[in-house]
Structure 1
Amino acid sequence: MATIQHHNDTIVVMVPFPAQGHLNQLHHLARLIAAYNLPIHVITTTVHSRQAKTRIPISNDNIVFHDYPTPHFPSPPPDPTSTIKFPTQLIPSFKSSMHLRQPFNDLLSTLSVTAKRVVVIHDYLMGPVVQDVVNYDNTETFSFTCCSAFASLWYLYDATGRPKLDNELELLLKEVPSNDDCMSLDGAQFVASTYVSQEKFSSGTIYDASRAIERKFIDVLEQEGHEDDKRLWALGPFNPTEVTNKSRDERDELFDWLDKQEPNSVLYVSFGTTTSISNEQIQEIAFGLEKSEQKFIWVLRDADKGDIFEGEARNIELPKGFKDRVGERGLVVVDWVSQLEILGHPSTGGFMSHCGWNSCMESMTMGVPVVAWPMHSDQPRNAMLLTKVLNVGIYVRDWPQRNELVSSRVVEEVVRRLMVEEEGVEIRQRAEELSCKVRQSMVDGGVTRLELDSFVAHITR
């Protein structure tokens, strides 16, 4: 890691949004920037700070966490039967995080007197919390966008009709999934309510995107939205590219089992922290996995509540006798797992995923092809990037079929296509080639490392 002299001249303040997929990215970015010996302060609500530390343990002397209690908010369970899969149950917790405006101000007024420059990196949904940065002369602010450059480009196009598309993009536009049902009405209203014109205070935008993966789309965004010396920084992947087994002092059952399997023989099934699946669909997935006769690890957790430490977890029932029939061939896990370590394990050969951007980045980093099953938000567009643009995945269910029950027969067929058939071998090879490119981008002299060096040089200039 290139080291830059310790500047107490520059202090970095990070303001993540409280959903797990957002928290995860800024925590990992904190780790990357702290490696340059810069002091970093992360500000969150008390409950989300605890959530982040439980799930993404980061110990680094350069990172200080500040958490503040916010007014109590309701934490209802997710609704597995809802046709729109957006995690409406989390909105009260999202709203509560807007109470960080005053604590953020207090922290900034303390830090801005001790440093030559304070650099604020905030999730774009936290605009209302950081809007007072304009009152501090020595503060520079960067907004962080947590989705792919590909999804961002089409959001920009939806909103403005720009940029003018070249032939390649024109062809892609015909296949870009609609935004219909990607968000619930109250979800869309919440996002709209967080819009604070960042033109006033933002010096640029940071993406968890990599030029090794999305160069074309990053270039277009850069030309389009970043005149007036506003820069775009593609610093991804934020997640580690090498898996260390440090987090398992006691070798647990799951990894003991994985160690015994053949290379690329296990399908990992997980739909992230915000998806709640109906009982009926769970039965179909179970029968499909059983009939595919492939090895699998299935993380069967319900979606997060606003406060993950409160209330009872849903009891999810599998088909009668399922575990006995599957026997040693599959594991069903109901706890939080280290997804990156599972994806990085040589035995893992496929990933059935909702295509949240963290999961996409982790699968591409680790060279694991995806069986795409998008659920909400940016996931339909991420799924298209993986399956139709990069060719490192196949669909189990495309967005136009989102309201249909996916039958066990479809699950079985798609699993076999990826894990057994020649098509799967070719997709896996492309996934491994992409993984090599991504990892090379992160070593000294690699495209992402150079961009990270340049970003740190820019904020410590």
Structure 2
Amino acid sequence: MAQAERERLRVVMFPWLAHGHITPYLELARRLTLPTTTTSPIDVTVHLVSTPINLATIAHHETDRISLVPLHLPAVEDGDLPASLHTTRHLPPRLMPKLKRACDLAAAAFGAILDEISPDVVVYDFIQPWAPLEAEKRRIPAVHFSTCSAAATAFFAHGLLGERGAFPFDAISLGGDGEDARHVEITCRDDDDGEGVVAERDRLPLSLARSSEFVAVKTCDEIEQKYIDYLSNLIGKEIVPCGPLLVHDSGLESERVIRWLNGKETRSVVFVSFGTEYFMSEKQLSRMARGLELTGAKFLWVVRFPAAAEGSDGDGAVARAMPGWFTPSAEKGMVVEGWAPQRRVLGHRACGAFVTHCGWSSVVEAMAAGVPMVAMPLHIDQPINAGLAAELGVAARVVAPLGEEFEAEDVACAVSAVMTRSEEAEAMRRRARELREVVARRDADDAAQIGALVHRMARLCGKAVAVPN
């Protein structure tokens, strides 16, 4: 087919204002806009919408097929949410309700963006269930793309949609019907004194209900088929897996970390990181430090602080936050503030275990690297992801009641269970290697799943008829 005859599909993407959501959306945009094969009749362009503070960090990803579109949030009461905090990155937890409210109040501004771009399809996140309504006003189909696991989405959908009976998958249940319901209630409670534009417990159900014909999910059917099927049955819509959507690390900041790892023995280092959005308390920092010390293993530990706690002297903030007795030698351990090249670390021969909060991207990246996990879930979808990783045979869980503080001894015990030469640890490493082949292969060979997504979106707006199998 000649280039002039190819259909063009204009897509507006609107992720939640968090790095952990923007990154998968941006990676999906990159893959959707890669040069298509000569047999494909559709060319895709993407307009990714976010706040200026978020777009500044990804400006280098803009191409002739991916444009970045600023969304200016309205001012909220009290004036303590400046434009520099229109992102969850370094956002103090107390301001999260205000950020959600400000985003909700930007519905009209988002609608104006749609008027200007006139896209064929809108792809939106679950925090913004009003986005498909703005699209519907303009007769534009809208699709929910979930950056969470199918298991976690199904877990919360089961609880929020009022399904009778217990969640039917014991392996990722949090301890029975009562505990599951309690976790859903705590996660989805309103923290804004009832002044929110959208009730927290309504965000996910409305986003799923308003998605046109299908829901796209960052996952692979090889690792989540039964949860994909259950979610589809719950909401009465097709679930379209988009693959792991692994992102390649880059940046000069990573070289110091990699040089340190290069001097370590194979599988001798414990990598500790709790994602881009979580900030440990002083008590948690102290207990983690003690737990790592008890293991006797070498470690690479990434720590983060909210904006109010950031220091201008780099590692000085780390030194002030750590307990005074914690002074590991350069040979024994490295503590990094803010960021480390997670995929490069996980893929390094020296990495033997990953202590993780079990955010979905971190779980997928660990599986893609074949690194066993020490699961320390904190909140939201993380306990369900931890259960899934354990069910798949690639994680040991820190034994601590959900919502309660972990103990240093619990950390040391779980790390030792992964790092030793016991039969259980060897079985976990073997299973991790097996999953590495599955996840890495699905990520590299993504033409079919991305092509299927393109054709489904095109069909929504009358630009394609057939959907490839």
**Is the TM value for this pair above 0.5?**
yes
Deviations 1:326-382 (A, max 9, x none): 331210001322222222222212111111112112212222211111111111111
State the partner residue of 2:404: 403
Alpha carbons of structure 1 residues 197 and 278: separation in structure 2 relative to 1, 3 Å: closer
Q: Tell me the secondary structure at the aligned position of residue 232 of structure 2.
A: helix
1:235 to 229, 235, 242: 242
State the partner residue of 1:343: 346
Q: Residue 351 of structure 1 contacts residue 371 of structure 1 at CA under 8 Å; is this kept in 2?
A: yes
State the partner residue of 2:323: 319
Structure 2 counterpart of 1:456, which letter? V
CA–CA separation in structure 2 for the residues paired with 1:173 and 1:429: 25
Structure 2 counterpart of 1:425, which letter? E
1:396, distance to aligned residue in structure 2 (A): 1.5
Structure 1 stretches lacking a partner, 5+ long: 79-85
State the partner residue of 2:232: 222
Equivalent pairs, count: 426
CA–CA separation in structure 1 for the residues paired with 2:201 and 2:24: 22
Alpha carbons of structure 1 residues 396 and 170: separation in structure 2 relative to 1, 3 Å: closer
Report the RMSD for the aligned CA atoms in angstroms: 3.4
Q: Residue 209 of structure 2 contacts residue 235 of structure 2 at CA under 8 Å; is this kept in 1?
A: no
Matches within 5 A, 1:10-21: 10-21=9-20
Higher RCO (CA 8 Å, separation ≥ 6 residues): 1
Matches within 5 A, 1:372-387: 372-387=375-390
Question: Aligned pair 1:265/2:268, yes or no?
Answer: yes
TM-score where L is the length of structure 2: 0.80
CA–CA separation in structure 1 for the residues paired with 2:238 and 2:307: 34
2:68 to 65, 71, 80: 65
State the partner residue of 2:127: 125
1:451, distance to aligned residue in structure 2 (A): 2.3
Question: Aligned pair 1:275/2:278, yes or no?
Answer: yes
Q: Residue 15 of structure 1 contacts residue 123 of structure 1 at CA under 8 Å; is this kept in 2?
A: yes
Structure 2 stretches lacking a partner, 5+ long: 37-42, 86-91, 459-463, 465-469
Structure 2 counterpart of 1:94, which letter? K
Q: Residue 172 of structure 2 contacts residue 388 of structure 2 at CA under 8 Å; is this kept in 1?
A: no
| Seq. identity, % | 27
Q: Residue 132 of structure 2 contacts residue 141 of structure 2 at CA under 8 Å; is this kept in 1?
A: no
State the partner residue of 2:53: 47
CA–CA separation in structure 1 for the residues paired with 2:381 and 2:4: 38
Alpha carbons of structure 1 residues 10 and 434: separation in structure 2 relative to 1, 3 Å: same
1:120, distance to aligned residue in structure 2 (A): 0.7
TM-score where L is the length of structure 1: 0.82
Structure 2 counterpart of 1:356, which letter? G
Q: Residue 40 of structure 1 contacts residue 62 of structure 1 at CA under 8 Å; is this kept in 2?
A: yes
Matches within 5 A, 1:109-148: 109-112=115-118, 118-137=120-139, 139-148=140-149
Matches within 5 A, 1:70-219: 70-72=73-75, 74-75=80-81, 87-112=93-118, 118-137=120-139, 139-160=140-161, 162=163, 169=169, 173=173, 175=175, 178=180, 179-180=182-183, 181-182=186-187, 185-186=190-191, 190-192=199-201, 194=203, 196=206, 199=209, 202-219=212-229
Q: Tell me the secondary structure at the aligned position of residue 302 of structure 1.
A: coil
Structure 2 counterpart of 1:209, which letter? T
